[in-house]
Structure 1
Amino acid sequence: MELGMVGLGRMGGNMAQRLLRDGHTVVGFDPDAAARKALADEGGGTADSLQALVAALPAPRAVWMMVPAGKITDGTVEALAGLLAPGDVVIDGGNSNYKDTLRRAQALAAKRIGYVDCGTSGGVWGLAEGYSLMVGGDQAVVERLRPVFETLAPAKDAGWGHVGPVGSGHFTKMVHNGIEYGLMQAYAEGFSILRHKQEFALDLHQVAQIWRSGSVVRSWLLDLTADALGKNPTLDGIAPWVADSGEGRWTVAEAIDLDVPAPVIALSLMARLRSRDDDSFADKLLAAMRNEFGGHAIRKA
């Protein structure tokens, strides 16, 4: 199948490579000339503009976007809307908010251009292991794109699926990432408890390796944790600052809207936000309050 790829960063570039290796034709566009060259070195076609990309694809066209959520995705969709023709389809493989996806799909539907949202998980390991793909969109359009999904997934019949109408793919990926927040936080807290039991002098890498086999807490995240602890047992040089890319916030907001209790996901998000406060006013005020009501000592900065 011939596919256009917009966004040839690490994940987009790896996805293009996986498609090329399975015999698909990929034409890619990225503002970064080095990213275009990397695709060309893998045997892919390149274009130096969206116009050139669309012109290089046979109709009906399929264009896969791997660009950051928000304004960049909006701008890309708007530009493609003016270039594509009825019967063409846009696939958004990024981490868009499903509400934005619904809006974009409606705008393209007015031009009879299809829109498929593909929640994508796999990160830097996807090139070798395959990607988990949660696909939303019209059944007929998704079926037309089946060869692409089967190639990108770990196997033709595993790791991907058409989960529902447009918007459902990104909604499912949003919740997936919310769960990920909770799992990561549980591992982080558990290993922190182990480390603080200093009289046992536990080897955290050893413990992680033990848990990887037979344990009810074994998982790919634990595999990656063991790998990280093996490389850097004391995590030297790593600042205790944890970013979030939005999906956890959206999951918590959706849980509130649906009256669904999600305390673990909510608290894991709060922990990430707390990690960024190097000079916590709240903690200073807590210390001051304890001093006021109980005369407890205040540690000077």
Structure 2
Amino acid sequence: MQIGMVGLGKMGGNMAERLRRGGHEVVGYDRDPAVSDVSSLRELVDRLQAPRAVWVMVPAGEPTQLTVNELGELLDEGDLVIDGGNSHYVDDQRHAEELKAHGIGFVDCGVSGGVWGLQNGYALMCGGDKASVERLMPVFETLKPEGEDGFVHAGDVGAGHFAKMVHNGIEYGMMQAYAEGWELLEASDIVKDVRGSFSSWRTGTVIRSWLLDLLVRALDDDEHLDELKGYAQDSGEGRWTVQAAVDHAVPLPVITAALYARFASRQDDSPAMKMVAALRNQFGGHAVTSAAGSTEKGADSPGADVTPPREAQ
């Protein structure tokens, strides 16, 4: 099958390569001319035979919106656009309506597999009408891992990215649980082989997973993670998962806590913890640490002089 691929970064470039290895003809476009087959979206469209299929793998938000807008002007009735980035499912619904006005079909496809996808295949979660998804099945079959699993036509437009959003929310919770377990083991005086403990769980336990394999791989490279700073970014999908939970009145305490933990990781000096320290000093007289790093006496420290507040009238 012939397909256009817009965005040839780590994911898009490897996906294009996997499709080529599977016998498909891929015309790729990227702003980096060193990896691009064509110099513009117009040239990409001109190189494809009608009815065309163009897969978009650019960052969510404005980059995707601008790309969809331009493709809407360049493509013809009967052509298809696939958004394989990490777009918000609400944006998918808007993009589908915008393209429908030009007679252009739209499929959203959540893609998971990261840098290992070229070798192992990509898990694909698609949303859109049945005819459009079936038309793209040769591409999906090549991109997905071998075997029964790895692909789902999840539902209407937006369903693919909604499923991928929930997938990433679950991933947040799983990573946070592994991370907290690692921190506790590292803090223990009696566990001498933390890396070995995690590795022992990879076979025969209920918490074995690919994430656990990757955790052990990370410890192989840096056993105590001394070379890393405790800062974790979020792609936006964790936030969308929590917001969707609010919209649907579904409690997500684990995923929400994992998202907030990432926010906390970005604070070198947490404002909230400053207030916690100040309040502990006020009601309990606990010692506090100044911004300069020195420890100041609390009310329960020898020599401290703290006058109790007046009772409320």
TM-score interval (norm. to shorter) = over 0.9
Report the AA paired with residue 119 of structure 1: G
Q: Which position in structure 2 is the counterpart of 1:39?
A: none
Asked whether 1:252 is paired with 2:242, we answer yes
Q: Which position in structure 2 is the counterpart of 1:88?
A: 79
1:111-136 CA-partner distances (Å, limit 9, x unpaired) = 11000000000000000000000011
Alignment of 1:127-138 (within 5 A): 127-138=118-129
**3-state SS of the aligned residue for 1:287?**
helix
State the shift of 1:156 in Å: 5.8
Report the AA paired with residue 246 of structure 1: G
Alignment of 1:151-166 (within 5 A): 151-155=142-146, 157-166=148-157
Asked whether 1:116 is paired with 2:131, we answer no
- Rounded to whole Å, the distance in 2 between the matches of 1:161 and 1:171 is 12
- Rounded to whole Å, the distance in 2 between the matches of 1:150 and 1:161 is 11
- Rounded to whole Å, the distance in 1 between the matches of 2:70 and 2:14 is 24
**3-state SS of the aligned residue for 2:59?**
coil
Alignment of 1:216-235 (within 5 A): 216-235=206-225
Alignment of 1:1-301 (within 5 A): 1-36=1-36, 46-155=37-146, 157-198=148-189, 200-300=190-290, 301=293
Report the AA paired with residue 15 of structure 1: M
- Rounded to whole Å, the distance in 1 between the matches of 2:147 and 2:212 is 26
**3-state SS of the aligned residue for 2:74?**
coil
- Rounded to whole Å, the distance in 1 between the matches of 2:47 and 2:148 is 31
- Residue pair 1:204, 1:229 contacting (<8 A) in 2 also: no
- Residue pair 1:150, 1:156 contacting (<8 A) in 2 also: no
**3-state SS of the aligned residue for 1:55?**
helix
- Residue pair 1:108, 1:114 contacting (<8 A) in 2 also: yes
- Rounded to whole Å, the distance in 1 between the matches of 2:80 and 2:281 is 63
Q: Aligned pair count?
A: 291
State the shift of 1:157 in Å: 3.3
State the shift of 1:15 in Å: 0.2
RMSD value over aligned CA atoms?
0.9
State the shift of 1:110 in Å: 1.3
Report the AA paired with residue 20 of structure 1: R
- Rounded to whole Å, the distance in 1 between the matches of 2:111 and 2:124 is 5
Q: Work out the percentage of aligned pairs sharing the same amino acid.
A: 58
- Rounded to whole Å, the distance in 2 between the matches of 1:110 and 1:173 is 27
State the shift of 1:35 in Å: 2.4
- Rounded to whole Å, the distance in 1 between the matches of 2:90 and 2:125 is 16
**3-state SS of the aligned residue for 2:289?**
coil
- Residue pair 1:150, 1:157 contacting (<8 A) in 2 also: no
Report the AA paired with residue 261 of structure 1: P
State the shift of 1:201 in Å: 3.7
- Rounded to whole Å, the distance in 1 between the matches of 2:81 and 2:243 is 27
Larger Rg: 2
- Rounded to whole Å, the distance in 1 between the matches of 2:27 and 2:84 is 16
Report the AA paired with residue 237 of structure 2: E
**3-state SS of the aligned residue for 2:87?**
coil
Which structure has greater helix proportion? 1
**3-state SS of the aligned residue for 1:34?**
coil
- Rounded to whole Å, the distance in 1 between the matches of 2:118 and 2:262 is 28
Structure 1 segments (4+ residues) deviating >4 Å: none
